[in-house]
Amino acid sequence: MALTEVEDRALLGATSNRAQAFADLDAHGYCVIAEALSGAQVAALRRRVIEQGAGEEARGAAFHDSKTNQRIWMMVNKGRMFRDLVIHPLVFEMMPHLLGEDFILSSLTANIARPGGEPMYLHADQGYVGFWTPKPVVANILWMLDDFSDENGGTRLIPGSHLRDREPGDTHERTIAAAGKAGSALVFDGRLLHGTGANRTADIHRHGILSYFCRPFIRQQENFFLGMAPELRASEREVFLERVGYRIWAGLGRTDAPGERGLLTRVDEPVGALNAAGAPAKDGDAELP
């Protein structure tokens, strides 16, 4: 597949120009944002991802989606610095362009691609929808904690594949590797065909964090209402809680009447079965005859 001028530029570097980034997203389904994270932020995040990955290996709780590729799930529970990425300024610049203003977090995960890995199967993040949509319903930001390259397993993608349904010729031979310096962010449309590349280096481990967002009517990949540590519901910032789905939207997500507003709170005394006088109904749990 011949590369266009824009695709060749994206292979070689990144952009800090937001107009160019939006144009790349629209035309090719992805863009690479330069210097999305500072050197200090990259170092701190990388250190914690390595530590968390090692800790999950030691506990026997590690998840591998290939022989050498480790995924770390539910990162909202594993450090405030990870939760900070959910409300990073870049998120509020890029996600409204793809998903509208009311996007929410679908999952927050980390990926450690070690040497000897195999390329991941090509997929679209909204593949479960089952049909192509004229607008994306999900989108992703991959925060690069190392330099990403073809050799170390940089994400493989097919530019422009977000603009059409999948074709028989959509194979790894048609992909390119998204490249960028540590601290860059790969932003991509949820309809874009992509997959983790094979790390062909001898000893380089490639680390990244994926903040995966969706429109507010889409079921989230991670269930934060059940899986997020309960103490975070009480201590986290309102802007963070809104983005993980604790804000009622268009009447969706409520716990009682449609008129509920604001952040969701735990219902300690839900209205149960009542008799006509408003007292608890003794036969509220009775089975149908």
In a 3-state reduction of DSSP, which class is residue 214? Answer: strand
Query: Which whole number is the average pLDDT over 236-262?
Result: 87
Q: How distant, in Å, are the alpha carbons of 25, 87, 124, 189 from that of 29? A: 4, 22, 11, 5
Q: Angle CA(41)–CA(181)–CA(97) in degrees, nearest 5? A: 80
- Band (pLDDT 50/70/90 cuts) for residue 276 is confident
Q: Which two tokens stand for residue 164?
A: 């059409």
Average pLDDT estimate for 72-78 = 97
Q: Do β-strands 206-214 and 194-195 pair in parallel, antiparallel, or remain unpaired? A: unpaired
**% residues pLDDT > 70 (the chain):** 93
Among residues 164, 146, 163, the alpha carbon closest in space to that of 155 is found at 146
pTM, entire model: 0.90
Question: Are 245 and 225 in contact, with CB atoms under 8 Å apart?
Answer: yes
What pLDDT is stored for residue 286 in this prediction? 67
Instruction: Please state, in angstroms and rounded to a whole number, the distance separating the CA atoms of residues 205 and 270.
Output: 50
Mean pLDDT on 179-202: 94
Mean pLDDT of the chain: 90
For the chain, what percent of residues have pLDDT higher than 90?
71
What are the domain boundaries of the chain? Answer: 5-226
Confidence of residue 60 (pLDDT cuts 50, 70, 90): very high
**pLDDT at position 231 over 90:** yes
Please give the pLDDT value at position 287.
72
**In the structure, what pLDDT confidence band is assigned to residue 278 with cuts at 50, 70 and 90?**
confident
| Structure confidence by residue, pLDDT tens digits, 83-118 | 999 999 999 999 999 999 999 999 999 999 999 888
In CATH, which superfamily holds the domain spanning 5-226?
Answer: q2cbj1_9rhob like domain (2.60.120.620)
Average pLDDT over residues 218-223: 97
Q: Please, which pLDDT band fits residue 2 given cuts at 50, 70 and 90?
A: very low
